[in-house]
Amino acid sequence: MARRHPRKATAVDELTDEIRNRQGNVIWPGPLVNGMLVDRLAWKGSPGATALQRVRLIIFGLSFSLVGLVSLSIAKGVRSLWLGAFAMLWLLLGARVLYNAFRGWKIGGPRS
């Protein structure tokens, strides 16, 4: 009986494997899983988030808060209660995202 030796990986096989690994996040259900992880981080906070993810979340939170502050200043200038309520929603959204960005973040920990 002849022995079969494992075939050595060629450059084409390595390239094909690399492409498959890279497409894991764009082929279904990868986007669904990634979306759920981002939603969980933004709305509930995640103790396992990396420092880069938290910095991105802080930028989003500050952006939402900035939209709220600008809308609030415009609402004050035109004395609009409806625009003021709209501004408060943006401010609350920004505060919630910022709170979740900092919740569970251990400075100097193993994942920071």
The single residue listed with the structure tokens 């494992």 is 6
- 83 Cβ neighbours under 8 A, 6+ residues apart: 71, 74, 75
Q: Are 101 and 58 in contact (CB under 8 A)?
A: yes
* CA dist 12 → 6, 17, 51 (Å): 16, 9, 36
**Side-chain half-sphere CA neighbours of 72 within 13 A:** 12
Query: Could you read off the pLDDT of 37-85 as tens digits, one per residue?
Result: 888 888 888 888 888 889 999 999 999 999 999 999 999 999 999 999 9
Query: Could you read off the pLDDT of 1-11 as tens digits, one per residue?
Result: 566 656 666 88
According to the model, what pLDDT value does residue 5 have? 57
- The residue type at 1: M
According to the model, what pLDDT value does residue 1 have? 53
Number of C-beta neighbours around residue 40 at 10 A: 13
**pTM: predicted TM-score of the whole model, two decimal places:** 0.68
Task: State which H helix or E strand residue 103 sits in.
Answer: none
